[in-house]
Amino acid sequence: MQSHHPLRHPDVFVQDLGRDRLLSRFDTDQLHILNWVAFQIWLYCDGQHAPEAIVQRLAECFPAAPVDRVSADVHNTLADLATKGLLHNDVPQHFDPYL
């Protein structure tokens, strides 16, 4: 289950594949390829952005897309990222994404 302010898992390694990104956790043997949009959603999982704030940011990137479609895509992607173990379950109270 995702937290109110999703947070990237700290053990994820990212490799640039051009338009896509390869993500893997150091403690598993699983690899995940994210397209540009999914990677942007993952980047906003900094413990500071609620899902609706992520929707707003992406809706600004895609003004022609209906907001309800962007919202569904963001929420589905967040659920998928959580299922794949790419998000941390809990955000520490003292979390500072800039440290």
**What is the domain range of residue 49?**
7-87
What does the CA dihedral 70, 73, 45, 9 come to, rounded to 10 degrees?
Answer: -170
Question: What is the tens place of the pLDDT at every residue in 3-58?
Answer: 489 999 999 999 999 999 999 998 898 999 999 999 999 999 999 999 999 999 99
CATH code (residue 23):
3.90.930.60
pLDDT band for 97, please (50, 70, 90 cuts).
very low
Euclidean distance between CA atoms 65 and 57, whole angstroms: 12
- How many domains, the chain? 1
Single out the residue of 40, 26, 38, 30 nearest to residue 80, CA to CA.
38
28 falls within a domain: yes
Question: What are the counts of helices (DSSP H) followed by strands (DSSP E) for the chain?
Answer: 3, 5
The structure's pTM equals 0.84
Whether 98 is covered by a domain: the verdict is no
